[in-house]
A and B are shown apart, each in its own frame.
Chain A
């Protein structure tokens, strides 16, 4: 029998707020252990939560960025479970009335067909403390770091719309891009600001059967999510084929063993509303205010780039996923640079160079104006592509205008036929074999000769002019 997988994702995203969710402690979980704590996030007796407006705003922007519908009324509950990472015995989470419902992300599946992945709801919750297990001599000890306790999180719960690991990975990449665009989180799985749990079950292909699901946790990259889901589908398929029942439980992904292993379940119960946190009521006006603050989302921007600037779908997509790159692109073409030239040079030359230098595009010394000046010289045939690459590298080191660098280094392209004429004659005289090859109909020989002239010009000759002159001369000889 052939099986298909039914997969749903639960994604925790850490919001990049300045403070924790219910107190004024800095939201810096990576600091020295237990420095960012106060009676509220340590949950001392008598402490009361003070819900952060910034957390609400960033969570709402995230919801709107995923086309989710913000609910006019949402509330926090006490999610009871007993574990040392949560010494107050309950986590403040929106169990009954989530912040938003619905929403979706469009992805392309393995066959490049568009597929809409629906979001069930998004709710806010506080993060819990981090447990560190160590050995003190031969005695195992467990330490608790409260820096992370109370850090603002949202949990995005999808519908079980995924059928393959590929779809889950594509969804996560698109989600990361969109959340980064609204500025609510860095969404890094490696550093833990995005954490993914996958619920996986299998059923005979084409049926609507509801099977027992298994939850898999502890994947710390998008790649691992794919690997873990693949492993789990194979494991469950083998089990079912061997006549074993799949039981509801949670498993941990072990990246070294490349396998999922069962983990001990936490004791969890239903949630009780917490009257210490007021009910959150969002007015229509406030929601619209938030919506107005929403930047253009990558998908929308890509479509606009295609229609407005005539980019290809591929070019538009690669430029629009990062708002910094998209903004830079529009600043450059605002200076009169042809969009496709700008797109090509930005993605193939500037962005890799900036990354190589570990800089940010926005703060790089290559401002849009300087970059545009360089590309302008290129399109006016004042310099050639090689020179442009060379000048670009120098723009990182020097404050001078690109025009000045071109002049100073003698990069200005030689397009003057008279100046090139003698060079060409020299090359033709020195390469009789290549000239003979050309006459024998070997087209390659022309490229070789162009290269030779270029070299003789110190790289400054305009290749278009060389080609023209060479073709004319060789034609005349024959």
Chain B
């Protein structure tokens, strides 16, 4: 069996001070730690060791957390096929994991190991030091057994960063715990996401919603007929951005240069051809196709993305939060094709397209139910986590 970690740190005798004191956190090799291997799971970066700490890493350490090591990741964090995200948590070697989230990886990884998974709002957490693939959609996802841990970690890592100028000039939400009164809280069930599930899963999802009703939340159905477009837009925009960005990972200055080239052009071509795995290669090819052959389709996808963001904003303004399933149409972990991968992330990709926060909550352990996602408008992260904490508290018999 493949090991979970690709790199491990020995635990120090005495924990550092801070509000994350004693918390053991695993990261991925898509997140830079000075001196650690940071190959993003790709041959294109094999043997690359980061020179600087990512801002996230620097802030976790400053808050007293202990970075336990780096876990195996799919190439550039894309999909979960080769990823061990969540495994360290299940084995209880760590208390939380920071996982790159390009289209729902943190939420689906959480669903694999019955943990909580959270993707923060885009622009809330610095991307400095992330070895990215889809710059307008990627985010640092958080996995933990408790929402409270996620809230504490987010409090440590969120906020402006002089090293990431792309963070918008916005007020950072207050991550103190918030009071939630279920009877005053309206939850919208997104019909199109629910109806995309196979029949037997719809059954389990409805059973999960009953839990929310029993807790006193008022549920009503909301609709967004364009929901299927999230996946399409993600696939076009995401692949074009990936194709353009992945030029940085040339496998020439690090990684492995392919032997036998007659000149430098050939050397570049052969090295890049040898560097990427089949899934990523097909993703980059697809992006290159749209960029070079069908740029109009890319422009249309960007335009539609703008409309989807506006529609989602309107929808989330009508309720306190949305609830929707987390697992897509093809729940297999062994998918190879792009189509399968996108089918797997069919109901999670929306939050990466819009930049809104989304939280995965695992089902109660008594069976018959599935976990679900909750989502709110951009920058409602604190409120969303408070709602999640409330649901878990009620589940454990509290109020």
- Is B truly associated with A? yes
A130 at the interface (CB under 8 A from B): no
Q: Using a CB-CB cutoff of 8 Å, which residues 38-56 of chain A contact chain B? A: 39, 42-46, 48-51
Which residues of B have CB within 8 Å of A276? 127, 135, 165-166
Contact B52 A46 (CB under 8 A): yes
Contact A88 B166 (CB under 8 A): no
Which residues of A have CB within 8 Å of B146? none
Q: Mark A71-106, 1 if CB is under 8 A from B, else 0.
A: 000000010101010011110000000000000000
Which A-chain residue is minimally distant from B288 (CB atoms)?
A269
Q: Using a CB-CB cutoff of 8 Å, which residues 250-307 of chain A contact chain B? A: 269-270, 272-278
Contact A269 B292 (CB under 8 A): yes
Which residues of B have CB within 8 Å of A386? none
B240 at the interface (CB under 8 A from A): yes
* Chain A nearest CB, measured from B127 CB (Å): 7
Contact A275 B247 (CB under 8 A): no
Which residues of B have CB within 8 Å of A45? 32, 38, 40, 45, 48, 50, 131, 248-249
Which residues of A have CB within 8 Å of B32? 45-46
Contact B247 A80 (CB under 8 A): yes
Q: Measured between alpha carbons, how far is A337 from B264 in the docked complex, in Å?
A: 66
Q: A49-B165, A78-B244, A84-B268 are in contact. Are A275 and B250 (CB under 8 A)?
A: no
Q: Measured between alpha carbons, how far is A270 from B250 in the docked complex, in Å?
A: 19
Which A-chain residue is minimally distant from B135 (CB atoms)?
A275
* Chain B nearest CB, measured from A255 CB (Å): 26
Contact A278 B165 (CB under 8 A): yes
Counting contact residues on chain B (CB < 8 A from A), the size range is 35 or more
Please indicate which of the listed interface residues B129, B244, B252, B291 has the most CB atoms of chain A within 10 Å of its own CB: B244
Q: Measured between alpha carbons, how far is A270 from B249 in the docked complex, in Å?
A: 19
B54 at the interface (CB under 8 A from A): yes
Q: Measured between alpha carbons, how far is A135 from B250 in the docked complex, in Å?
A: 25
Contact of A84 among B38, B240, B247, B264 (CB under 8 A): B264
Contact B253 A87 (CB under 8 A): yes
B224 at the interface (CB under 8 A from A): no
Contact B48 A50 (CB under 8 A): no
Contact B268 A80 (CB under 8 A): no
Q: Using a CB-CB cutoff of 8 Å, which residues 6-53 of chain A contact chain B? A: 39, 42-46, 48-51
A431 at the interface (CB under 8 A from B): no
B136 at the interface (CB under 8 A from A): yes
Q: A45-B40, A87-B252 are in contact. Are A272 and B166 (CB under 8 A)?
A: no
Q: Measured between alpha carbons, how far is A51 from B166 in the docked complex, in Å?
A: 10
A142 at the interface (CB under 8 A from B): yes
Which residues of B have CB within 8 Å of A270? 291-292, 295
* Chain B nearest CB, measured from A466 CB (Å): 75
Q: Measured between alpha carbons, how far is A142 from B261 in the docked complex, in Å?
A: 14
* Chain B nearest CB, measured from A31 CB (Å): 21
Q: Measured between alpha carbons, how far is A90 from B287 in the docked complex, in Å?
A: 15
Q: A84-B264, A84-B268, A269-B291 are in contact. Are A46 and B245 (CB under 8 A)?
A: no
Which residues of B have CB within 8 Å of A142? 264
Contact A275 B136 (CB under 8 A): yes
Q: Mark A314-354, 1 if CB is under 8 A from B, else 0.
A: 00000000000000000000000000000000000000000
Which A-chain residue is minimally distant from B32 (CB atoms)?
A46
Q: A87-B250, A88-B247, A270-B295 are in contact. Are A48 and B131 (CB under 8 A)?
A: no
Q: Using a CB-CB cutoff of 8 Å, which residues 1-55 of chain B contact chain A? A: 32, 38, 40, 45, 48, 50-52, 54
* Chain A nearest CB, measured from B46 CB (Å): 12
Q: A45-B45, A46-B50 are in contact. Are A272 and B165 (CB under 8 A)?
A: no
* Chain B nearest CB, measured from A220 CB (Å): 25
Q: Using a CB-CB cutoff of 8 Å, which residues 309-364 of chain B contact chain A? A: none
Q: Using a CB-CB cutoff of 8 Å, which residues 151-171 of chain B contact chain A? A: 162-166, 168
B130 at the interface (CB under 8 A from A): yes
Q: Measured between alpha carbons, how far is A274 from B264 in the docked complex, in Å?
A: 27
Q: Measured between alpha carbons, how far is A9 from B129 in the docked complex, in Å?
A: 40
Q: A45-B45, A45-B48, A82-B268 are in contact. Are A272 and B163 (CB under 8 A)?
A: no
B101 at the interface (CB under 8 A from A): no
Which A-chain residue is minimally distant from B252 (CB atoms)?
A87
Please indicate which of the listed interface residues A142, A273, A275 has the most CB atoms of chain B within 10 Å of its own CB: A275
Q: Using a CB-CB cutoff of 8 Å, which residues 236-293 of chain B contact chain A? A: 240-241, 244-250, 252-253, 264, 268, 288, 291-292
Which residues of B have CB within 8 Å of A274? 135
- The 13 listed contacts between A and B (C-beta, < 8 Å) are A43-B248, A44-B50, A46-B129, A48-B165, A51-B165, A90-B245, A269-B292, A272-B298, A274-B135, A275-B136, A275-B166, A276-B135, A278-B165
Besides A46-B129, A80-B291, A272-B240, 13 new A-B residue pairs in contact (Cβ under 8 A), listed by A number? A45-B38, A45-B40, A45-B50, A46-B131, A48-B163, A50-B163, A87-B252, A89-B246, A89-B247, A90-B247, A272-B244, A274-B135, A275-B166
Q: Which 9 A-B pairs have the closest CB atoms?
A: A89-B247, A46-B32, A275-B136, A88-B248, A45-B131, A272-B244, A46-B129, A78-B244, A275-B135
Question: Which residues from chain A sit less than 8 Å from chain B, CB to CB?
Answer: 39, 42-46, 48-51, 78, 80, 82, 84, 87-90, 142, 269-270, 272-278
